[in-house]
Structure 1
């Protein structure tokens, strides 16, 4: 769809830095916000809402440092509300802060539901109309382009259509360049959104109409696309759909749908493949795990597990993929499990550089070993490094870099003394004895918990032989009880994700003992790292 200059353009307005940061657990420092803004500009969004300078010091500091940004595509936007009911625009601190932000575009939110005007603002309905018109006009006189966010627009339209439309007219009379219809409570349906969008375009022709939806009914993306189909030319949302309560409209899904499904232009030509990396970058910067099942950009979005599916995708990806993963910068993955069959194993083996025929007897041995391991509780969907080691074992290609001779882990915690002073936290110490090239290395290390101590002791024992392990670190650790009915005697599964700064890989261990399962996963993680370094 790239390369057609005549395609209708839908402006993408990102509010991750303001509305997105209202999500539980989603926090960005000023430095983080600057980094995200720069990445969003590289993606090619049209507008980046930096925050509300009149609401908190962090957002005010962001705009003070906005000169550090080198934006080539996007325009920076400051967000604020209409002036206080008891002040004039020229005496209102909120509007002064908006002017002080130094942006060419401001988004101003105003009440458009009569119930909110009377209950929350506590002012007469006519006073709210004047506040909208006067606030927009004040900023417009300072040569600022104003977008009007019509808060609770769809709820207002249901309860008092005439008044809600009057609020939009007041904003238009004040000089607003775009009227943004907000589904603030997130409960509207696509048909309602489309009908309302058409109504506004007919009532106020010539003005741009935008949409800002929330996901409380899990319809934010659908509602945004419905508004675009009805003529909206601007869509507001956040990367990954982060936001208060159930989140905002997910721009990742919206942008992909606009370009790949609706034939519209949402990003500059050639930028859509940056979508997946952008989505993951934002979450990682906020110290949140990427969401595997996210449409388009999740690791599982183009993951195939069933053997019949994999076989079909090998012949024609369109049989089980609605778009090409490469179009949004994602990858196709074949998930390794006892459901996958020989097709997935063959693909994995070929990815490893093994030239196996479709009827190679080794494939049957690999499948039998896979089924046997999964019957014990092993899973390889998130532990592809362990599966690659399994293939090498079956084929007799496994190289042993070290052997465990013994490990012990000791954890102790002193009781409170007789004076009632609190004892320090528990202390864990691990000792490890390994054999490398006929030489024994016996080391000990202290850690934050038994697994961390074991990990440190292993690395300490091996670093003298393999210095490259210094660049490796454990980035995720998960434990799952496989049979809760067995209580404390249950088998447990440990999944570990490791990284060397260039790539990530997952390994798995299973045992009745959590330390033994952890050792298996840690050991395989190191074995895989050493194998990859040797073959690369």
Structure 2
């Protein structure tokens, strides 16, 4: 059997951080974990330092049964966490020791078992079709049997808050049946996600006083209060909190593990993770999003890319004095970073801070700073957007620094274009069979030579990129490492807004193109804006190469 105690639990057994991403989180629409995915998720959660990882429902789902088999075989060595199997109590007409589902829980070899039981009289009588006495016996018998087999047992009291509001006596009888039979924790579940923090906290306190049981909390997010409800429950006395990574789950989701941990650690001062664990929150959140094949929520609390991003000039002025004036915590505590976004709202402080972030010292160059502020605002009014295109912004800052009428650029020159364009031409052929082929020809001067190159692609931008690469590759060996990984187009009106907002047809409007590139080590985004989509794309492509060229020139020995 897998070991029953973690090697390093942050608060011993005083407080439980319990993750149910692999069971409850997997119920989110669009998520489908393979067994290999589930093992990878569990490893990341263990690295983070959660106390308990609920692996799924063995016996009910073949993939979950296989997951526990592989975990027990040694494929999932856990440093911090304990593996938990989830399942239901015995059936009404079957003894616990003869119930196949209960036996499957034992066969999983999980040292901890979480049982789900209905605690709302309406569900007991209508959904289960039994009376309350029978339901309580099912709970008590199953808990006692599993405890007798050497398993630690938690009970998820399903629909507890709704059941307690409807019939408190029945809800209490169910959880007391579990507690008196040996369950370590009784988890109060807001299954329908309809609770609000004050009401929920009052119920937790009341149940604690009336039963003396150790209580946990499990919240769904149907009122967008799952995190707040979880924290309120902890403040009211719950010492076991169940969450899912990034709030994944059925319907509106579950309490977000990373927001709950961020609040426990930074707001309540609880050592809910091992030393250094909090600094891994952002990394683990994004890694788990990749496994789930869901784009990370950029505005997610604590771990989102925009969680500490500031756009307004007023904010930037204050941050320049003290970052904590507009950040509720130091972003580094949770492994995140502060960012200053440069838009038409940007003032001198915003650009000065952004320049510092990009390695461009604008503070000592007031004339250049004023020039940059004016240039950015002018470009943004024409449809350019730099808040998502740091690479293009850095090139703009360096070009403006070179062009400002000041001495002493401090080595901050903008790099020269690694080639000079003579012309490019793009042709689109659509034949009678319906096949569409794009062909691009570029004429450039590179290293003092004139180069003409032609290439085909599945679209005009692809063809243009291929032709340019073909022309430059013999002269720029690092170009082979650069890949275009994302391409986004936005149709704008001449004033910068969307055509829909101003009734514009869009076909002759201004186009904004964002291109994301990578060299396998770093990623960067560039922007181009023009009435012609190909020219806008060309601008973004050129900036991508110039930015890489600039970084390449900084390499030792370059």
TM-score range, shorter chain: over 0.9
Match of 2:476 among 466, 484, 494: 466
Instruction: Write out aligned runs for 1:393-404 (5 A).
Output: 393-396=399-402, 397-398=413-414, 399-404=416-421
* 1:209 Cα deviation from its structure 2 partner: 0.9
Structure 2 counterpart of 1:101: 108
Corresponding residue SS for 2:504: helix
Map 1:495-534 → 2, pairs under 5 A: 495-534=514-553
Deviation of 1:408 after TM superposition, in Å, equals 3.9
State yes or no: 1:442 paired with 2:452.
yes
- Provide the rounded CA distance (Å) in 2 between the counterparts of 1:161 and 1:233: 22
Q: Who is 2:92 aligned against? A: 85
User: Does residue 1:269 correspond to 2:280, yes or no?
Assistant: no
State the partner residue of 1:420.
none
8 Å CA contact 2:360, 2:397 repeated in 1? no
- SS of match in other structure, 1:501: coil
Matched with 1:31 is 36
Equivalent-residue separation in structure 1 for 2:548 and 2:396 (angstroms):
15
Cα distance change of structure 1 residues 234 and 127 upon mapping to structure 2, 3 Å threshold: same
SS in 2 for 1:461: helix
Change (3 A) 1:40 1:159: same
Task: Give yes or no for the alignment of 1:481 onto 2:500.
Answer: no
Contact 1:10 1:264 in 2 (8 A): no
- For 1:414 and 1:114, the matched residues in 2 are separated by 69
| CA contact 2:11–2:272 (8 Å) conserved in 1 | no
Return closer, same or farther for 1:517/1:186 CA change in 2, 3 Å cut-off: same
Long gaps (5+) in structure 2: 1-9, 403-412, 493-497
The two structures have a TM-score, normalised by structure 1, of 0.92
- Report if aligned partners of 2:35, 2:64 keep a CA contact under 8 Å in 1: yes
Deviates most, 21-30 or 219-228:
21-30
1:71 is aligned, of 67, 73, 78, to 78
Check whether the contact 1:346–1:358 (CA below 8 A) recurs between aligned residues.
no
| d(CA) in 1 for partners of 2:125, 2:464 | 63
Aligned match for 2:64, one of 47, 59, 66:
59
Alignment of 1:331-346 (within 5 A): 331-346=337-352
Q: What are the equivalent positions in structure 2 for 1:326-475 lying under 5 Å apart?
A: 326-358=332-364, 360-396=366-402, 397-398=413-414, 399-412=416-429, 426-475=436-485
Q: Report the number of matched residues.
A: 524
- How big is each residue's C-alpha offset from its partner over 1:333-392, in whole Å with a ceiling of 9 and x where there is no partner? 111122121122222333444444455211111111111211110111110110001112
Shift of 1:462: 2.6
TM-score by length of 2: 0.89
Structure 1 runs of 4+ with >6 Å offset: 5-8
Distance of 2:219 and 2:64 partners within structure 1: 23
The alignment yields a C-alpha RMSD, in angstroms, of 2.2
Which moves more between the two structures, 216-225 or 102-111? 102-111
Structure-1 separation of matches of 2:281 and 2:445: 46
| Post-superposition CA distance 1:93-135 (Å, at most 9, x none) | 3222211211101111111112222332233333222222222
Distance across 2 between alignment mates of 1:435 and 1:85: 82
Q: Which residue of 1 aligns with 2:285?
A: 279
2:325 to 286, 298, 319: 319
Q: Given that residues 497 and 507 in structure 1 are in contact (C-alpha distance below 8 angstroms), is that contact kept between their aligned partners in structure 2? A: yes
Q: Name the structure 1 match of 2:296.
A: 290
Q: Secondary structure at the match of 1:372?
A: helix
Measured in 2, the distance between the counterparts of 1:45 and 1:39 equals 10
**Which stretch of structure 1 is more off in the superposition, 158-167 or 457-466?**
457-466
**Cα 1:356–1:178 shift into 2, 3 Å:** same
Task: Answer yes or no: is the 8 Å Cα contact 1:7–1:263 preserved in 2.
Answer: no
Residue of 13, 16, 19 corresponding to 2:21: 16
CA gap of 1:152–1:318, structure 2 versus 1, over 3 A, is: same
Post-superposition Cα deviations, 1:423-476, rounded to whole Å, max 9, x if no partner, equal 6x6444444443322333433444444433433333333322222222222333
Pairwise mapping of residues 190-201 of structure 1 onto structure 2 (< 5 A)?
A: 190-201=197-208
Corresponding residue of 2:170: 163
Gaps of 5+ in 1: 417-422
2:239 matches 1:233: yes
Note closer, same or farther for the CA distance 1:59–1:455 as it changes in structure 2 (3 Å cut).
Answer: farther
Q: Which residue of 2 aligns with 1:221?
A: 227
